[in-house]
Structure 1
Amino acid sequence: MKKYSLFFIVAVSVIAFMSLLLISAKNRPRKFNPRITLRHNEKIPYGTNVAYQLLPALFPNASVSYDKKRPGDWDSLDYKTGNQAVIIVTKDFNAEVWELEPLKDFAQNGNYVFIIANTFSYEANRYFHTRTKDLVFDEYFGEGLDSLQLNLENPPFINHLAYQYPGRKYEASFIEIDTLRTNIMGRNEKKQVNFIQMNTGKGHFYLHLAPLAFSNYFLLHKDNIHYYEQVLSVIPPQVNKIVWNEYFLVKRSNKKEKDPSLYRVLFQYPAFKWGLLTALGALLLFILLEMRRKQRMIPEITPPINDSLDFIKTIGRLYYDQNDHVNLAKKMSAYFLDHLRNHYKITTQVLDESFVATVHSKTDYPKEDLKQITRFIRFTDTAKFISDEQLSEFYLQLENFYQNA
């Protein structure tokens, strides 16, 4: 009995605990999901499940299908016949020329191409002869991003009411259109064009730059469902096929692109792109050139002045002024003999005829003049007095030797 009582208590406790969890979960406020997906199977505020589910009611005679294949590979549409429609929903209509050509061929055969996107690639703008102002500019320059308001043109639409909701804006506008082949269908709260029609062959292109106007949040807010009904009324109700295509939405996610940035938008314009790249290239070249080692100008170095001769002359004047001619003559003789030893490698220990012959052979100086110099040097060794004339003559003999030897 105690065993069953314990089991009963545990069971009641578990049931009570689970009930409390369910009650708390039910009473917990639901968190708003701000992600913008635009996917047809998403029931979050910025999904497009409501718009997709309403298509059979708006077009009862048409077969409604979904795919994410690229233009030209659609299995459920016949490119050679008319009375069909494709609704392309994406954040960034980053189409290239080879993707736009199948769309044009499809429309010219009497079909309808409805493109819903926030941004258009450079190729798409060029193809449709348009220019768009992206929301990213408003974001960077501080304009509000909430509370979208849309208006339809009269004509072609009869109802001229303003449709709005308090959610994200996420819109763009056309700043240039080809007025000869384009009809304005709608505007935003600033009267900027965001919905246009273009005729091509037997069919039409429709371009809409406010994708969140097709979101669950917008369509379920007040009477905004009427905006959706009127916008899609441009497609005849008797079409037999409608395809909801998310190829460009998938293409964007496969490329793992980041959210629109100011530079990515500006790079859509070739002039700005190449101007910026040229400036960066010039800056890089300047940095590389300035990185080279710069050498200062090498200063001119003057050769050292030989002060020895000046010193000797100064000493000579000193001896001369003191009339010490003998000592001065000895100094002059010693300098002469040192000159012979250093320049001609001549031994000067014995000043005889052999010495004179050796000096003559190495210097080619006249032998008689060398004999006079040698005799006077020997004379200075024993002389007690030398006159001014003798000293002057000896000086001239030595100078003549230095200059001509």
Structure 2
Amino acid sequence: MKKGLIIIFVIIAAIIGLSYVIGIRTTKIVDWEESYNEKSNKPYGVSVLYKELPKLFKDQKFKTVYHTPSNYLYANSEDSYGDHIAEGVYMIIGNSDYLEDDDIDELLLFVERGNTLFLSDYYPPNKLLDTLNIEVDYVEYEKQTSKDSISKLSFKARKLQDKNSEIDKNIEDYYFSKFEGENYTSLGYAKNDTSLINFIEIPYESGTIYLHLQPRIFTNYNILKGDRFKYVEGVLSYLPNKTLYFDSYTKYYDTYYGDVEEKSDLSWFMQQVSFKWAWYLALILTLLFIIFNAKRKQRIIEIIKPLENTTVAFVKTISNLYFETQDHRNLIEKKITYFLEKIRRDYNIDTSVLNDEFIDRLSSKSGKKKETIKKLINYINWLRTKNEFFEDNLLKLNKHIEEFYSK
């Protein structure tokens, strides 16, 4: 037993020494990648801004969106499937290149309903620029000395002149080379050059779009350097004090539309060197404890296998077959067919036309809530109009059917 304890202490000492060496090496390396990750403490992450936003938007809800706008805004719109109606300000800092055309369409619909979009990135998506009749260009600086790499960021409004700032390590400035829309307003510019406009306000239907072309000013490095945070305050002062939807660096594509708030994420903790090695040490000690205490204290008890349920195995085989082939259309059609057949059999209701009259009759006969039935029937009718199906559609349909039977 003493020999075992000696081995354990030697392993612990080796782990602590290794973690110390790795920790020293890690602290000497600075990662200057522009990630715009709200959980990153690196120079060009945006964790500082992310933590301060709830204070800047006082008494307002703050929601972090882990889904694409096409999923989240569509689901959380009137008469759709989300848990609320999205209203307020949708904020995107960097990383806008992931946006597809359908994401831009949903963002524009969001603004049309009287809401606000704030997007700060070097080059916004082409679909958005084309829709707003805007063009973006840039000025590249050839010689890079410590002085040349500094770029001024200025506001047009006189009341914000004391919030003008600068950024360093800059090799180019992006600006709006064309914006020919009615009532478009320039709000700021770069290099103290009024021709290099990098911040504009765009009225769009009942809402407003703010486009900004220097996302680096929102990063940890710049917010914490000197009084550069004042410029960020000036930019955000244009936004209305309403519910804020922050577009997360992390995106999930395998959960229901309504589940937009992240439940937990160990990855951020694993980025912290101290916590990571404490976690590894705990796992290793647990493994050593199991190894040194693996001696049995009683006779081996023979395991008697229960009779196998071949019916369950058959069902699993068939379901795995459909799952492996990814035939979502077939599964969706079968689930709809079986559901409507059960409705006809249990409640003696004609299912050939799924309209409001059908919803009222089914609610009356089944005793289920009309809202639950309406969501299910609307989703079935919507699915029947689609030509292409995905796993998410199947999961959503199954969720609605289960809600119908559970209430």
SS in 1 for 2:28: coil
Q: Does 1:172 find its partner at 2:174?
A: yes
Residue 66 of structure 2 corresponds to residue 64 of structure 1: no
Q: Name the amino acid aligned to 2:134.
A: T
Aligned to 2:136: 132
Q: CA–CA distance in 2 between the matches of 1:18 and 1:98? A: 50
**Aligned partners of 2:76 and 2:239: how far apart in 1?**
16
**Cα 1:79–1:113 shift into 2, 3 Å:** farther
The alpha-carbon distance between structure 1 residues 143 and 61, as it changes in their structure 2 partners (threshold 3 A), is: same
Deviation readout 1:7-41 (Å, 9 max, x if unpaired): 99999999998887677667665221021111211
2:228 pairs with 1:224? yes
Residue 53 of structure 1: aligned partner: 51
Aligned partners of 1:94 and 1:124 also within 8 Å? no
* Alignment map for 1:144-293 (pairs within 5 Å): 146-155=149-158, 157-168=159-170, 171-178=173-180, 180-191=182-193, 192-237=196-241, 239=242, 241-246=243-248
- Contact 1:82–1:110 under 8 Å retained in 2: no
Contact 1:170 1:211 in 2 (8 A): no
SS at match of 1:119: coil
Q: Distance in 2 between matches of 1:186 and 1:47?
A: 23
Deviation at residue 66 of structure 1 after TM alignment: 1.6
Q: Are the counterparts in 2 of residues 86 and 245 from structure 1 also a CA contact under 8 Å?
A: yes
Q: Tell me if the contact between 2:140 and 2:173 (Cα under 8 Å) persists in the aligned partners.
A: no
Alpha-carbon distance in 1 for matches of 2:176, 2:199: 8
1:177-215 CA distances to partner (integer Å, 9 max, x unpaired)? 125321111111152111111112332100011111111
1:99 aligns with: 103
Q: CA deviation at 1:111?
A: 0.9
Structure 1 counterpart of 2:189, one-letter code: R
Letter in 1 for 2:30: F
Q: What is the total number of aligned residue pairs between the two structures?
A: 242
For the pair shown, the structure with the greater C-alpha radius of gyration is 1
Identity, % of aligned pairs? 19
Please name the residue that 1:32 is paired with.
30
TM-score (norm 2): 0.50
Rate the CA distance shift 1:120–1:82 in 2: closer, same or farther, 3 A.
closer
- The one-letter code sitting in structure 2 at the alignment partner of 1:122 is N
CA distance in structure 2 between the aligned counterparts of 1:185 and 1:150, rounded to whole angstroms: 11
For structure 2, the 5+ residue unaligned runs are: 80-84, 254-407
* Corresponding letter in the other structure for 2:31: N
| 1:11–1:245 distance in 2 versus 1, CA, 3 Å | closer
CA distance in 2, matches of 1:249, 1:209: 23
Letter in structure 1 aligned against 2:29 = K
Query: TM-score, with normalisation over the residues of structure 1?
Result: 0.50
Amino acid at match of 1:32: V
Alpha carbons of structure 1 residues 79 and 62: separation in structure 2 relative to 1, 3 Å: farther
Q: Retained in 2: the 8 A contact 1:151–1:160?
A: no
Q: CA 1:43–1:250 in structure 2 vs 1: closer, same or farther (change >3 Å)?
A: farther
The unaligned stretches of length 5 or more in structure 1 are 252-405
Distance 1:44 1:250, change over 3 A: farther
Letter in 2 for 1:153: K
Which residue type is aligned with residue 161 of structure 2?
N
